[in-house]
Amino acid sequence: MFSEFWVLGPNHLMQDYPFDVRINQSSQVFVGVRNHMGSTSYYVIYAKFRNQTQPLPGALGSTPSPLPPLYEYHALIADEGTWEMPLTFSILRASRVDDSTLVSDISINDIVFSVNSSATWDSEDRGFNYQVFLELWLYNTTLMRFQYHNRFVAFWLNFTESLSESPV
């Protein structure tokens, strides 16, 4: 028994993910879950935002990231059923000073969140990189609470081209 979990680009394909983003530029991906748990399951999906040094879920997938969720989806999915929804986001406020950037505000599905996340220049990848990632949680009927379901998906964002040397 398992759950499939994915993020697709704007054309519902595993390509064309937003990468080089600009301030106030709206981008969209699609988040999906397919239930193979043997019965109807209740899921929550948490959208989170990180710089290149902040933690992802544990390497073996058993612990969620300690970063706070910004946005959440709730989905009740019948066995062998599929759920998919758009995730639309934009960086609303960011600044660059020398070799670092600071993303102050991000909008996810038209709700504004303060993130205050800074990134330093990554010389290997040649950019100021951030990541949007989503964690899948499943309702445990025995414990009567949601538990991290050992699955997450992510995509990188780069702000190198979009920021001047002064606050935006």
* pLDDT for residue 132: 97
For 121-136, how does the pLDDT look when each residue is reduced to its tens digit (9 = 90+)?
A: 888 888 899 999 999 9
* pLDDT for residue 165: 45
Does 164 map to a domain? Answer: no
Does 94 map to a domain? Answer: no
**160, pLDDT greater than 80:** no
For 135-152, how does the pLDDT look when each residue is reduced to its tens digit (9 = 90+)?
A: 999 999 999 999 999 999
Which pair of structure tokens corresponds to residue 8?
């697709």
Domain that holds residue 127: 2-88+119-158
Residue pointed to by tokens 């949680």? 137
* pLDDT for residue 62: 82
For 1-39, how does the pLDDT look when each residue is reduced to its tens digit (9 = 90+)?
A: 899 999 999 999 999 999 999 999 999 999 999 999 999
For residue 11, what is the domain's CATH number?
2.60.40.10
Does 102 map to a domain? Answer: no
Tell me how many domains the chain contains. 1
Beta strands across the sheet bearing 100-108: 2-8, 27-36, 82-97, 100-108, 111-120
Supply the mean pLDDT for the chain: 92
Under DSSP, is residue 47 helix (H, G, I), strand (E, B) or coil?
strand
With a pLDDT cut of 70, the percent of the chain lying above it is 93
Does 27 map to a domain? Answer: yes
Does 136 map to a domain? Answer: yes
| pTM summary value | 0.92
More confident residue, 112 or 96: 112
**104, pLDDT greater than 80:** yes
Burial of 155 (0-12, 13-18, 19+ CB in 10 A): middle
Which pair of structure tokens corresponds to residue 153?
């998906």
